[in-house]
């Protein structure tokens, strides 16, 4: 009877050059999983997704899979990005629940028991974490982050909470909904918000990375935010259209002013510096609008090519099958 009631939690861990942090993470996640399994009818699956790491990450995962049957890994043929790694985890996990965590310990495994308990009442479909504050973060990054959340929540249908982390525990129904969104240009925070489901938010203090270095520079975060805006809103296209209409009206008004001024004052030559500035200004606005349109066309182009989101080079299941043939 106990076996029939057994539930499985799949922990999805995207990894890119995390050899320094993995030993700490493995020790902590095993400790938490053992404690939860000792008091509840739970089993665990640790699904690591190696996103083309260039350090010893894959070697550590191979060894961990030999020592612990709960450990599974998928290794990509190259670096496809964290979004692709998360999608691979969702596609291949087998649990009744699934959680996404970073290997750098900034997502504390100690929160898992509280998150699991919150899902047992039936009131929520997922428990997600958010940063209670932005301590330790550069002020300029905090400013742009807050601006991003305000903008995207105003112009899109996706409900994205300020300070939201990818770390969350979800029921199987929510995982299946995420997998069903098989788009190539992925923005998980937007996907989590767009699909809906009842979510409880769990704030916690910011935790520093246990080892290694962050892969997210300010420029990468900025590009990622632009990708999120374009993935879940067409507002930039609307803004470009409005800007075009306004510039046409301004140009028409300028023509009228110049003609009237020439007829009354007879000064056909004066004002050429300001005219040159206006031409450069309007040319810049036009190029900006063309660039916005080009970005949307580029995203559409990539979607229509139907390229795979990721390519698997190796899994421990394959290695096991090869040795038994």
Q: What is the arithmetic mean of pLDDT over 251-265?
A: 74
Over residues 112-126, the pLDDT tens digits come to 999 898 888 888 888
Which two structure tokens, joined as six digits, stand for 165?
A: 């982390």
Identify the band that residue 61 occupies on the pLDDT scale cut at 50, 70 and 90.
very high
Side by side, the strands of the sheet bearing 199-204 are 199-204, 126-131, 164-171, 97-100, 7-15, 42-50, 71-76, 312-315
Higher pLDDT, 154 or 9: 9
Over residues 195-222, the pLDDT tens digits come to 888 888 888 877 776 665 666 667 777 7
The Cα 189–Cα 231 span in angstroms is 11
What is the value of pTM for the model shown?
A: 0.76
Please check the confidence at residue 228 and state whether its pLDDT lies above 80.
no
| DSSP secondary structure of 26-79 | HHHHHHHHHHHHHHSSEEEEEEEEE-S-SSSHHHHHHHHHHH-TTEEEEEESS-
The Cα 58–Cα 61 span in angstroms is 5
Q: Quote the pLDDT of residue 221.
A: 75
Please check the confidence at residue 318 and state whether its pLDDT lies above 60.
no
> What's the number of CA atoms in the CB half-sphere (13 Å) around residue 297?
6
Please check the confidence at residue 3 and state whether its pLDDT lies above 60.
no
Identify the band that residue 45 occupies on the pLDDT scale cut at 50, 70 and 90.
very high
Q: Quote the pLDDT of residue 217.
A: 67
DSSP code at position 94: -
The Cα 43–Cα 248 span in angstroms is 65
Identify the band that residue 323 occupies on the pLDDT scale cut at 50, 70 and 90.
very low
> What's the number of CA atoms in the CB half-sphere (13 Å) around residue 237?
11
Please check the confidence at residue 97 and state whether its pLDDT lies above 60.
yes
- In degrees and rounded to multiples of 5, residue 158 shows phi and psi of -80, 130
Please check the confidence at residue 321 and state whether its pLDDT lies above 60.
no
- Whether 71 and 103 have beta carbons less than 8 Å apart is answered as no
Of 244, 225, 251, 321, nearest in space to 285 by CA: 244
Over residues 148-207, the pLDDT tens digits come to 777 777 777 777 777 778 888 999 999 999 998 888 888 888 888 888 888 888 888 777
Please check the confidence at residue 250 and state whether its pLDDT lies above 80.
no
What residues contact residue 289 under an 8 Å CB cut-off, 6+ apart? 240, 243, 244
Identify the band that residue 325 occupies on the pLDDT scale cut at 50, 70 and 90.
very low
3-state SS, residue 102: coil
What length does the chain have?
A: 325
Helix 218-232 × helix 235-265 angle, to 10°: 90
Of 142, 143, 164, nearest in space to 153 by CA: 164
Identify the band that residue 241 occupies on the pLDDT scale cut at 50, 70 and 90.
confident
- Whether 98 and 140 have beta carbons less than 8 Å apart is answered as no
3-state SS, residue 292: helix
Q: What is the arithmetic mean of pLDDT over 261-268?
A: 68
The DSSP element (H or E) to which 71 belongs, if any, is: strand 71-76
What residues contact residue 101 under an 8 Å CB cut-off, 6+ apart? 11, 12, 13, 29, 107, 109, 167
């Amino acid at each position: 009877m106990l076996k029939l009631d057994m539930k499985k939690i799949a922990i999805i861990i995207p990894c890119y050059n995390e050899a320094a942090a993995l030993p700490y993470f493995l020790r902590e996640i095993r400790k938490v999983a053992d404690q939860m399994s000792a008091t509840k009818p739970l089993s665990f699956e640790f699904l690591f997704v190696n996103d083309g790491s260039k350090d010893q990450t894959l070697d550590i995962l191979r060894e961990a899979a030999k020592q612990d049957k709960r450990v599974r890994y998928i290794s990509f043929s190259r670096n496809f990005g964290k979004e692709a790694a998360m999608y691979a985890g969702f596609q291949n996990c087998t649990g009744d629940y699934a959680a996404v965590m970073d290997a750098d310990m900034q997502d504390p495994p100690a929160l898992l028991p509280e998150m699991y308990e919150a899902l047992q009442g039936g009131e929520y479909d997922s428990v997600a974490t958010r940063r209670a504050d932005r301590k330790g973060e550069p002020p300029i990054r905090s400013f742009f982050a807050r601006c991003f959340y305000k903008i995207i929540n105003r112009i899109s249908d996706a409900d994205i909470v300020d300070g939201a982390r990818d770390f969350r525990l979800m029921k199987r129904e929510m995982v299946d909904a995420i997998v069903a969104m098989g788009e190539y240009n992925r923005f998980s925070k937007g996907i989590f918000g767009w699909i809906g489901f009842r979510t409880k938010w769990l704030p916690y203090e910011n935790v520093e990375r246990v080892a290694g270095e962050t892969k997210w520079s300010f420029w990468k975060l900025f590009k990622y935010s632009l990708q999120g805006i374009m993935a879940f809103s067409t507002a930039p296209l609307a803004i470009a259209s409005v800007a075009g209409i306004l510039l046409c009206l301004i140009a028409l008004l300028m023509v009228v002013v110049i003609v009237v001024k020439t007829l009354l004052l007879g000064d056909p030559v004066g004002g050429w510096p300001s005219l040159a500035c206006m031409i450069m200004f309007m040319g810049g606005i036009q190029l900006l609008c063309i660039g916005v349109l080009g970005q949307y066309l580029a995203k559409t182009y990539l979607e229509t090519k139907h390229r795979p989101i990721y390519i698997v080079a190796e899994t421990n299941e394959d290695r096991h099958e090869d040795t038994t043939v």
